[in-house]
């Protein structure tokens, strides 16, 4: 079923216990069952040298820069 035809009433909910033992309703799986037909090669999307360099600069800044810590910008390191 295409995503445009999926409504909130089509979602499957499950009853589980939280860390205190209280019963809560959580959203069940929302993905389509099955396996991909073919493998997706993300590196093929980087066509030019500039694309690769830009990707590497972003990745290295994310992991190794002093002004970024993980996925969020913080004033103090975690």
Does residue 76 surpass a pLDDT of 70? no
C-alpha closest to that of 67 among 56, 76, 58: 76
What pLDDT does 25 receive?
Answer: 92
**pLDDT bucket at 73, cuts 50 / 70 / 90:** low
Report the pLDDT averaged over residues 30-50: 82
Provide the greatest CA pair distance for the chain: 54
């Amino acid at each position: 079923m295409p995503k445009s035809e999926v409504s909130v009433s089509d979602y499957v909910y499950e009853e589980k216990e939280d860390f205190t033992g209280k019963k809560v309703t959580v959203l069940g799986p929302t993905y389509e069952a099955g396996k991909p037909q073919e493998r997706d090669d993300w590196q093929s999307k980087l066509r030019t040298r500039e694309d690769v360099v830009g990707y590497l600069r972003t990745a290295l800044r994310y992991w190794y820069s002093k002004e970024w810590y993980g996925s969020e910008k913080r004033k103090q390191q975690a």
